[in-house]
């Protein structure tokens, strides 16, 4: 059976860089009091009091994505390097060095990587580049998705093999998202933020159907690819040049193919889009055919979404389950806009303050399927960028509004992780990367009684 026969365009789940709040936005939320999320649930009966952190790789600088391949761990650092961790530790020389091609600072940099599921010599990276042709002069930079070939010795990447798959003009320097994940269908899913600034408004943010808030890209499906999860076929003819973000060039300038069952194929929407209405989806992951993603909020609420094909996740009409900047907002688009599609509510929402489950920027995770911490089995493990290394647990149900609670880190281990930047799963076990006392590191979640 071919791999694309495993998954059709059915319900999937998805999730934006942490640290996307400005200082003003962060200060605004500290004085706000919100309702406490529901933690009174028997789904947490077997939850451990705390978990431990087993060191896997240390001495890293700003790690924010990890890909597993053939006994190795590729670790992306925001400054532009991909480190290789294997038995014996981190190699002395990085696999990839992108500094000369990188736009850095704030939320820009090397933001995501993925290994092709059928050929581990094909490495895909998502990075911020200085403005390229096709990016308006007043914009911040260019979103680049490229493919590289790993040399046969597995110790370096041939820079001459870079094939630009996709380019998207980025209006501002923030809300870049950046995660890329291969689904069980073999297609590549690409998280794209709303373009930056605040409120999905300002230069580079187009008009949409909703008059309650001016802008923006999250509710637009025709003018650009911002504020969306894309689904593309990177095994298409690699000799075709990349899409440069200009709709007039769309038909002939894609370095990939569009799956025929993408939800907007045959409509006036951009065919690459799989789901939209997102602000800054930071870290997404598949659990079987379900895709989960954390979407970083504006100033009051963070959310985790279970993405459906053609799902509209509400930004900037809503922030989480709440109206954004208005007292009353619709729960659907108008009938004239895609037949009144619903604004899908998140499966998890939490406030910026006033609750044990609170934070400033969600870090999406995944369902625990391992055996090291039995009490976590079947639970959604995720985090927040707030100082202190905050981990949370969500108890999946058939509905939105999953119960959530804090997952404590055992005494003696908490100092290892002061800023979480990535959570992911390999062979059922959960790993977490971030910055602790002294440097960046990758850890595995283990029983506190290790």
Q: Quick: pLDDT tens for 31-59.
A: 333 343 454 568 899 999 999 999 999 99
pTM of the model as a whole: 0.90
Using the predicted structure, report yes or no on whether residue 115 has a pLDDT greater than 70. Answer: yes
Which tokens go with 192? 């794209």
Q: Which of 5-19, 233-247, 260-274, 433-447 has the lowest mean pLDDT?
A: 5-19
| Distance, CA of 449 to CA of 447 (rounded, Å) | 5
Q: What superfamily in CATH does domain 3-33+62-368 come from?
A: TolB, C-terminal domain (2.120.10.30)
Using the predicted structure, report yes or no on whether residue 112 has a pLDDT greater than 60. Answer: yes
Give the up-direction half-sphere exposure of residue 74: CA atoms within 13 A in the CB hemisphere.
Answer: 29
* Better pLDDT: 42 or 432: 432
Q: Summarize the confidence of residues 224-229 as an average pLDDT.
A: 98
Backbone angles phi, psi at 196, to 5 degrees: 105, -165
Q: Summarize the confidence of residues 159-170 as an average pLDDT.
A: 94
Three-class secondary structure assignment of 63-75? EEEEEEECCEEEE
Using the predicted structure, report yes or no on whether residue 137 has a pLDDT greater than 90. Answer: yes
Using the predicted structure, report yes or no on whether residue 12 has a pLDDT greater than 70. Answer: no
| Distance, CA of 100 to CA of 412 (rounded, Å) | 39
Alpha-carbon separation of residue 154 from 72, 96, 158, 161, 334 (angstroms): 10, 11, 11, 14, 53
Contact of 391 with 51, CB cutoff 8 Å: yes
* Better pLDDT: 411 or 171: 171
How distant is the alpha carbon of residue 2 from its chain centre? 27
How confident is residue 152, by pLDDT bands cut at 50, 70 and 90? confident
Name the nearest CA neighbour of 72 among 163, 153, 170, 143: 153
Mean per-residue pLDDT over the chain, rounded: 87
Domain boundaries, the chain: 3-33+62-368
Long-range contact set of residues 2-5: C-beta below 8 Å, sequence gap at least 24: 3/117, 3/118, 3/184, 3/185, 3/186, 4/185, 4/186, 4/187, 4/259
Contact of 191 with 14, CB cutoff 8 Å: yes
Burial class (CB in 10 A: 0-12, 13-18, 19+), 267: exposed
Backbone φ/ψ region at 252: left (φ over 0), alpha (ψ -120 to 50), beta: alpha
| Distance, CA of 5 to CA of 10 (rounded, Å) | 12
Contact of 173 with 143, CB cutoff 8 Å: no
How confident is residue 395, by pLDDT bands cut at 50, 70 and 90? very high
How confident is residue 286, by pLDDT bands cut at 50, 70 and 90? very high
Using the predicted structure, report yes or no on whether residue 240 has a pLDDT greater than 60. Answer: no
How confident is residue 415, by pLDDT bands cut at 50, 70 and 90? confident
Q: How many CB atoms lie within 10 A of CB 33?
A: 9
Q: Summarize the confidence of residues 338-343 as an average pLDDT.
A: 96
Q: Which of 377-381, 409-413, 428-432 has the lowest mean pLDDT?
A: 409-413
Contact of 396 with 378, CB cutoff 8 Å: yes
Q: Summarize the confidence of residues 167-179 as an average pLDDT.
A: 97
Using the predicted structure, report yes or no on whether residue 380 has a pLDDT greater than 80. Answer: yes
Contact residues for 399 (Cβ-Cβ < 8 A; gap 6+): none
Contact residues for 128 (Cβ-Cβ < 8 A; gap 6+): 102, 103, 104, 108, 109, 110, 111, 141, 142, 143, 144, 170, 176
Whole-number pLDDT of residue 24: 33
- Round to the nearest angstrom and report the end-to-end CA distance of the chain: 42
| Distance, CA of 190 to CA of 281 (rounded, Å) | 10
Name the nearest CA neighbour of 417 among 431, 430, 436: 436
């Amino acid at each position: 059976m071919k791999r694309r026969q495993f998954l059709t365009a059915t319900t999937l789940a998805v999730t934006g860089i942490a640290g996307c709040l400005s200082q003003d936005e962060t200060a605004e939320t500290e004085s706000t009091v919100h309702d406490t999320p529901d933690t009174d649930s028997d789904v947490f009966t077997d939850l451990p009091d705390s978990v431990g952190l087993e060191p896997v790789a240390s001495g890293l600088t700003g790690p924010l994505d990890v890909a597993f391949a053939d006994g190795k761990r590729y670790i992306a650092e925001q400054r532009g390097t991909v480190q290789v961790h294997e038995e014996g530790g981190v190699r002395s020389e990085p696999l990839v060095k992108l500094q000369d091609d990188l736009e850095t600072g704030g939320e820009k940099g090397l933001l995501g990587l993925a290994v092709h599921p059928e050929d581990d010599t094909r490495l895909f990276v998502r990075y911020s580049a200085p403005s390229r042709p096709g990016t308006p002069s007043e914009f911040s930079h260019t979103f680049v998705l490229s493919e590289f070939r790993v040399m046969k010795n597995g110790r370096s990447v041939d820079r001459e093999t870079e094939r630009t798959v996709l380019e998207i003009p980025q209006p501002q320097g923030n809300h870049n998202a950046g995660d890329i994940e291969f689904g069980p269908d073999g297609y590549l899913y690409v998280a794209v933020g709303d373009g930056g600034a605040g409120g999905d408004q300002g230069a580079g943010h187009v008009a949409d159907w909703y008059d309650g808030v001016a802008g923006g890209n999250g509710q637009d499906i025709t003018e650009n690819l911002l504020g969306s999860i894309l689904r593309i076929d990177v095994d298409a003819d690699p000799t075709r040049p990349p899409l440069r973000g200009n709709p007039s060039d769309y038909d002939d300038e894609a370095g990939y193919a569009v799956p025929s069952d993408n939800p907007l194929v045959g409509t006036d929407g951009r065919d690459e889009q799989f789901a939209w209405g997102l602000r800054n989806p930071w870290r997404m992951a598949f659990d079987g055919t379900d895709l989960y993603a954390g979407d970083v909020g504006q100033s009051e609420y963070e959310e985790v979404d279970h993405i459906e094909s053609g799902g509209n996740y509400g930004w900037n009409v809503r922030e989480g389950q709440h109206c954004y900047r208005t007292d009353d907002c619709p729960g659907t688009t108008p009938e004239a806009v895609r037949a009144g599609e619903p604004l899908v509510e998140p499966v998890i929402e939490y406030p910026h303050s006033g609750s044990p489950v609170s934070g400033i920027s969600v870090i999406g995770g995944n369902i625990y399927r391992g055996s090291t911490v039995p009490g976590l089995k079947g639970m959604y493990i995720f985090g927040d960028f707030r100082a202190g290394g905050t981990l949370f647990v969500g108890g999946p149900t058939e509905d939105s509004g999953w119960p959530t609670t804090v997952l404590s880190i055992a005494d003696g281990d908490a100092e290892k992780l002061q800023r979480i930047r990535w959570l992911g799963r390999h062979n059922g076990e959960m790993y977490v990367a971030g910055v602790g006392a002294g440097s960046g590191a990758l850890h595995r979640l283990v029983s506190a009684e290790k």
